[in-house]
Structure formats: structure tokens, C-alpha cells
Amino acid sequence: MFDPYLPTAAFLAYLDPGSGSWLFQMIVAGVASCFVFIKYQGSRVAGWFGKGKGDT
């Protein structure tokens, strides 16, 4: 049964499938947003040096 002397970390370490997929989705979204942010900032900096998309 329940033992009050057990550390509570053992009970908090459980991840059900819903939590695991949510965590995986947050990690993938974070990585994807980092790539988009770096790409946007890279094209913005390149525009300062005349290598942007607006050059003709």
C-alpha cells in the first residue's frame, strides 16, 4: 500500500502516454521555432550587407 516514508519523487517520475507525447511535441516545436527564428534573423542580417531577397 502507501508508505509515507517513500520519497515523493518516485511518484512524480511517472509519465503517461499523453504526457510523453505532449513533451515530445513541445520539444519538436521548440526546435522548429529556433530554426525559423535563426533563418529569419539570418536573412535580415544578410539584407544589411546587400545580399537579401529584395536586391535587384
Does residue 3 form part of some domain?
no
Does residue 11 form part of some domain?
no
Cell of 32: 522548429
Cell of 3: 508508505
pLDDT for residue 50 is more than 90: no
pTM over 0.75: no
Range of the structural domain that residue 39 is part of? 20-48
pLDDT for residue 53 is more than 70: no
Domains identified in the chain, total number? 1
Does residue 41 form part of some domain?
yes
Cell of 41: 534573423
Does residue 32 form part of some domain?
yes
Does residue 34 form part of some domain?
yes
| Tens-digit pLDDT profile for residues 5-38 | 666 655 666 667 788 888 889 999 999 999 998 8
Does residue 31 form part of some domain?
yes
State how far the Cα of 54 lies from the Cα of 56, in Å rounded to an integer. Answer: 6
Does residue 24 form part of some domain?
yes
In sequence order, which ranges of the chain are alpha helices (DSSP H)?
A: 9-12, 17-48
